[in-house]
Amino acid sequence: MTAVRSGAEAAILLRERRVPGLALLLDADRLAQAVGEPARIERMRWKPGAGVVASLRTERGGSRFLAAYADAAKAAKDLQTASRLGARLTAVGDVPGTVVGALDGDRAIARSLARLRRRLPGVDTGSLVLRHNPARRIVLRLADGRVLKLAARGRDRVLVAIVGGDLAAAGVPVVAEAAVPRVAEATVLPWWGRGDLSARPDPTAARLAGLATAALHDASPPAGAILLAERSLRRELVRARDGVAAVLPGLAPEAGAVVDAVLRGVERSATPPTVAHGDLSPIRCCSAMTGCASSTSTASASPAPPPTSARSAPQPCSRVPSRSPTRCSTATPSSARLRANGSCACTRPPPC
């Protein structure tokens, strides 16, 4: 069966003829045949002219990984790494440079995952994949109920530790991330809620999530986090510019001009950096039966020159006010503001 293409898809495939696996990825029937069952794309990372990696969700709820390269040697390297580490990955026989398999076939995180399995035996048993950002990170809910985050590199976890510790010291409630010994790329968190505000709207929880975010924005980041965040911001802006140019070449000049203007503004700004949430939306806010509202973005907050925002991952959590007053352990402007609004930002987070 020949897939019906949109004009945009046809134009991309015409430019990406060196990556035959991209056409397979965009064809539901061929993709189902390669995976072994119907599957849809959850996240895709595409480097024009070089290849694409994608996380897939099958019809039965399973998670899969697919990579397609212009250079078939990269697919061979993926297969060699998978074989060495005991990962599950196979070549798609009729499509050069294309491999498909389980999440541990993602070469960028395969080594970290192998080390994690040695430190936490049985980490895969009963685990639920919450999110897989190919070549970047995976988020799992473990069988014991905790959440595990595993990044391709440990750099993001350093920023999380810096910002998270600073927010806690400033009186902003955060869900603590615990390190996994000898696996710098991994952290473990408690499970913080059930459902989110998009699926389970709740005015009180929404208000408290907003108050927690306001407290986060009041905090002042430490110098080390500012440096890491500025580098991250520059890198992400350049990637966004290049992505627009690849998909919509006609907008490349405008995208470049916007990025240049933002970077010039950041360099010239005399305003002290603050902490900004990088991805706030109802789907990022979890509501819990215990009466908490928590921001659950895996890349939620970091130092940023106003009004831009970059990345990191502390999860602010606000306690629903009860009939008895709640005491705050600090007297920061953030906690004072929250007290005035009937809630409290406490250094020890409630059990979200």
23 or 328, which is more confident: 23
> In degrees rounded to 5, what are phi and psi of residue 329?
-85, -5
pLDDT of residue 314: 37
Contact by Cβ (8 Å): 35, 105: no
Judge whether residue 158 has pLDDT over 60: no
pLDDT of residue 321: 31
pLDDT, tens digit, 9 for 90 and up, residues 267-301: 787 677 777 776 777 876 766 544 333 443 333 44
| Spans of all domains in the chain | 7-151
DSSP bridge pairs for 63: 57
pLDDT, tens digit, 9 for 90 and up, residues 11-26: 888 888 899 999 999 8
Q: Is 313 helix (H, G, I), strand (E, B) or coil?
A: coil
pLDDT of residue 223: 64
Predicted TM-score of the model (pTM): 0.65
Token digits of residue 223: 């110098």
Task: Report the alpha-carbon distance of residue 217 to residue 305 in Å, rounded.
Answer: 11
The lowest-confidence range among 51-65, 95-109, 180-194 is: 180-194
Task: Report the alpha-carbon distance of residue 31 to residue 21 in Å, rounded.
Answer: 10
Task: Report the alpha-carbon distance of residue 296 to residue 280 in Å, rounded.
Answer: 9
Task: Report the alpha-carbon distance of residue 151 to residue 185 in Å, rounded.
Answer: 5
344 or 146, which is more confident: 146
pLDDT of residue 78: 95
| Average pLDDT for 224-244 | 79
Alpha carbon separation from 250 to 23, 253, 278 (Å, rounded): 23, 7, 28
Task: Report the alpha-carbon distance of residue 83 to residue 104 in Å, rounded.
Answer: 11
Judge whether residue 310 has pLDDT over 50: no
Q: Where are the beta strands (DSSP E) in the chain?
A: 39-47, 51-58, 63-69, 89-91, 98-101, 128-133, 137-141, 147-151, 178-180, 183-189, 274-277, 285-287, 292-295, 301-304, 317-319
Token digits of residue 141: 């809910």
User: What contacts 336, CB < 8 A, 6 or more positions away?
Assistant: none
Give which of 320, 325, 316 is closest to 208, Cα–Cα.
320
| Average pLDDT for 181-186 | 84
The lowest-confidence range among 23-27, 184-188, 198-202, 303-307 is: 303-307
| Average pLDDT for 236-263 | 90
pLDDT of residue 54: 95
Judge whether residue 105 has pLDDT over 50: yes
**pLDDT class for 342, splitting at 50, 70, 90?**
very low
309 or 22, which is more confident: 22
Contact by Cβ (8 Å): 161, 178: no
What does 119-180 look like in DSSP terms, one character per residue? Answer: HSTTTTTT-EEEEEETTTEEEEE-TTS-EEEEESSSHHHHHHHHHHHHHHHTT--BPPPEEE
pLDDT, tens digit, 9 for 90 and up, residues 77-103: 999 999 999 899 999 988 999 999 999
Judge whether residue 326 has pLDDT over 50: no
pLDDT of residue 303: 46
Cis peptide before 307 (omega within 30 of 0): yes
The lowest-confidence range among 73-82, 99-108, 172-181 is: 172-181
Task: Report the alpha-carbon distance of residue 330 to residue 14 in Å, rounded.
Answer: 60
User: What contacts 47, CB < 8 A, 6 or more positions away?
Assistant: none
Tokens 């919450």 belong to residue? 130
158 or 19, which is more confident: 19
Share of residues in the chain with pLDDT > 70 (%) = 68
Share of residues in the chain with pLDDT > 90 (%) = 27
H helix and E strand count, the chain:
10, 15
